[in-house]
Structure 1
Amino acid sequence: MEPLIDSHFHIFDPAFPSPGNQGFIPDPFLAAGYLKAAGALGIVGGVLVAASTHGLDPAPVLAPLAELGRSYVAVLNADPAWDDETFRRVAEAGARGLRFNLYRGVSGSEEDAVALARRARAVAGLHAQVYVDFATMRPQMDALISLGDGLVIDHLGMTEAGLPLVLELVSAGAMVKATGFGRVSLDVRNALERIERQRPGALMFGTDLPSVRARRPFDAADVALIQDVLGPDRARSVLHDAAAEYYGIAPKEP
């Protein structure tokens, strides 16, 4: 079994009461349950990502890192109230990025998100992970392009109409999560092929477990799809190497 890096998954621990999002509160999904699923897939490290339901408190995302182990890092929901010292503190605690969840209405305006992203990058090296239908982001393209490799795009950019903008950003250095195949509105095979062709090494696989609010959950067949579309060598980059390098993950042995 080839080792995988999971660049995008969530933990929902009832020990940390969730504010929810738009009336939705997910069922519990604990670190132990994730590690069991991850082990069956050959996952050796990854990136725990804040969901919309976590709100802006970093604790529900940072706390599970102790159980997940040293081959896991985190991406936190961006809080515009954080000062420079807070950015540095969460980075020391295992955060590698801030998520701007525009799709679920968590992160305010696009303009404010870009300004905050620049400050977090300059102060603590935190990248900006953006969850949005990129078809809506044309007015912000110059600002997003200026983030270069400090930008990570969620779920292939979400829609077919957003793919041309995603490709522009990939050319400028952005990374793209090959995740959420059951929640996007685009031709996944075509998107994978075009992004890989635009800049080899830009794609990073993720399970999106436990796939809450997706039309269908992650399936191991999603890994096979990446391998089928890209072939073994390029798929190895997507499934392991790109995320290991981008996040500085030194994976444990499976």
Structure 2
Amino acid sequence: MAPNQPPACPGPDPHPAAPRRFTVPNGAVDTHAHVIGLPPQWPWIANRAYTPEEATAEAYLAMLDAVGMTYGVLVQVSVHGTDNSLMESVLRANPQRLRGVAVTTPSLQDAEYRRLKEAGVTGLRMNLLQGGGLGLDGLQDTAALCKEQGWHLQLLLDARQLPELAPALSRLPVPLVLDHMANFPAAEGPQHPGFQALVGLVGDGAWVKLSGAFRLSQLAPDFADVVPLARALLAVAPDRCLWGSDWPHVTHWGTMPKVGDLLDLVADWAPDEATRHRVLVENPARLYGF
């Protein structure tokens, strides 16, 4: 690796397969994935945290087919910054199967927001993990924009921030979606104030993605300490829990997860078929408009 070069991130499992513990229902939605292009056609931002491999739309759709998922939601990946053009092109090529969540700057013109909406974008994502001067004023402005477009607001944050942030988040005028169980470190345990704040926020109306277990826990392959977290969230809001693969698993430098194995975890979190159907089919269909 060259000096000052962001570390290389390995690509996803090249041989995806369906879960073994249950049959994925028709209409299931993977609510969190990324497509990644290569420069010079699809430039990367200079201050990126990693150097990725290409993750094409064709590879993503093939993964969905292999594991039995019907639909997918693409989330703008950080290495492409606020240039949503690759994601937009993939959405336009797959209007029946894919939706998108964009990352934008406040300077976009109304026509550009309309174009993203027409392409299949249903929400905006904000990153509260790295700071960088983003305050609650920016959060409110973005939420107002989402309300104008009929979109939801998706946040990448650390649940340990929630005791401070939850009051402001609970007042946002749009549906709020929290990534990866709010990135809560499972080893901290479900009684941690941050996780309890997450449970309260989800119980009061927020949506949450039951995803990223391989990021939250060191207890591979079953990630047993994530089970009580997922079950607690399902207990308070079974109609607002979602599932996502987080394909192609960027910023993960260990053994690349197999999406079928990640789906198998849902059998531990939601042992009954009816709840799994809500998480995989009914809830995302309602939020993303499938």
Q: Percent identity?
A: 29
Superposed CA offset, 1:33-56 (max 9, x none): 111111001111111001211201
| Other-structure match for 1:17 | 43
Which residue is equivalent to 1:195?
233
Distance in 2 (alpha carbons) for counterparts of 1:110 and 1:185: 29
| Superposed CA RMSD | 2.1
Checking the alignment, whether the CA contact within 8 Å between 1:201 and 1:242 is kept in structure 2 is: yes
Structure scoring higher RCO (CA < 8 A, sep ≥ 6) equals 2
Q: Provide the C-alpha distance between the structure 2 equivalents of 1:165 and 1:185, rounded to a whole number of angstroms.
A: 19
Any stretches of 5+ residues in structure 2 without a counterpart? 1-22, 186-191, 219-224
Give a deviation string over 1:102-121, Cα, whole Å, max 9, x none.
Answer: 2245x741413421232222
Would the alpha carbon gap of residues 69 and 180 (structure 1) be closer, same or farther in structure 2, given more than 3 Å must change? same
Asked if residue 30 in structure 1 is aligned to residue 30 in structure 2, the reply is no
Instruction: Give the alignment partner of residue 214 of structure 2, picking from 182, 193, 197.
Output: 182
Q: 1:114 aligns with which of 139, 144, 147?
A: 139
| Structure 1 position 140, deviation (Å) | 2.4
Asked if 1:63 is matched to 2:89, the reply is yes
The equivalent of 1:5 in structure 2 is 29
Moved more, 26-35 or 112-121: 112-121
Distance in 2 of aligned mates of 1:37 and 1:204: 18
Aligned to 1:51: 77
Q: Structure 2 CA distance, aligned partners of 1:141 and 1:228?
A: 28
Distance apart, 1:81 and its partner CA = 2.2
Counterpart of 1:224? Answer: 264
Query: In the alignment, what sits opposite 2:250?
Result: 212
> Number of residue pairs matched?
248
Tell me the residue number matched to 1:245.
286
Amino acid at match of 2:208: V
Aligned partners of 2:217 and 2:158: how far apart in 1? 10
Structure 1 residues 66 and 218, CA, compared in 2 at 3 Å: closer, same or farther?
A: farther
Shift of 1:185: 4.7
The answer as to whether partners of 1:182 and 1:217 remain within 8 angstroms in 2 is: no
